[in-house]
Structure 1
């Protein structure tokens, strides 16, 4: 992973892999994170919206998935091939600045859920 930003309703990631196809990585990411988030919600005794949220996740599972108890992530993804240094750099700039362009913060370094934040803990691959 080179860059990322977790926005309130979606996540944008710039990543590559030589070992696995990116669709496999995204499927595994979605599966793992959904299990963790659903578990955190279900096991949190202080979560006041627990029943409501779990009911919604169950409703969407029954409506769209049929083989899972709860549905967390939206179906599909929108991969973009970044096949030039210029295109890659352009997308890095866009991803890093998403919290600014959507008016969540004034500076990308202030957004905690981003690779731009100085104290983020995700190990990133160098891209420059």
Structure 2
């Protein structure tokens, strides 16, 4: 992320695009972690949507001179990966062996991991530099659950900032893009 003061569209995906976020507890872990980064690490979330295998965000750093956005993302991904894997290992997960096997397999091809890799390495960060590009990404993020047939209107999807943009408070504090 070359411009520390920039606003970025980022996507991170679970390895092999595994549908992990079909369980409420895993979604809660992600939302709690996002809230923590907003409150304690200076993350500003302008838009977000958590899908079954990935998340889309429009984010910036509250104080770019103090905190690097890439560091916040690294910490968010590391913490959520650890917590979700711990929950898979210890919780009532019917796919436990299969999931852990996939995460272990992914870790073997990456020297940074010791036992499991949950998230793909790349964040696909794109700096948002024009109003047209911002509008395009906002629309894309909020239409994801509609396109997948989960809801008829974007603001009906709980794990998205579309609710905030429709005037209802969502799960995560959002800095609206005017």
What range describes the TM-score normalised by the shorter chain of this pair? Answer: 0.7 to 0.9
Deviation at 1:106, TM superposition (A): 1.4
Structure with larger Rg:
1
Superposition pairs of residues 109-120 of structure 1, within 5 angstroms: 109-117=155-163, 118=168, 120=170
Deviation at 1:10, TM superposition (A): 1.4
| Corresponding residue number in structure 2 for 1:69 | 115
Q: Which moved more, 1:72-81 or 1:104-113?
A: 104-113
- Long gaps (5+) in structure 2: 1-44
Deviation at 1:38, TM superposition (A): 0.6
More strand by share: 2
TM-score, normalised to structure 2, is 0.64
Equivalent of 1:93 in 139, 145, 154:
139
Hey, what's the Cα distance between the residues in 2 that align with 1:68 and 1:123? Answer: 34
The change in CA–CA distance for 1:119 and 1:41 in structure 2 (over 3 A counts) is: farther
Q: What's the RMSD between the two structures over aligned residues?
A: 1.9
Aligned residues: 127
| Corresponding residue number in structure 1 for 2:60 | 16
The alignment partner of 1:16 has SS state of strand
Superposition pairs of residues 1-128 of structure 1, within 5 angstroms: 1-17=45-61, 18=64, 19-44=66-91, 46-65=92-111, 67-117=113-163, 118=168, 120-128=170-178
CA contact (8 A) 2:159 2:171 kept: no
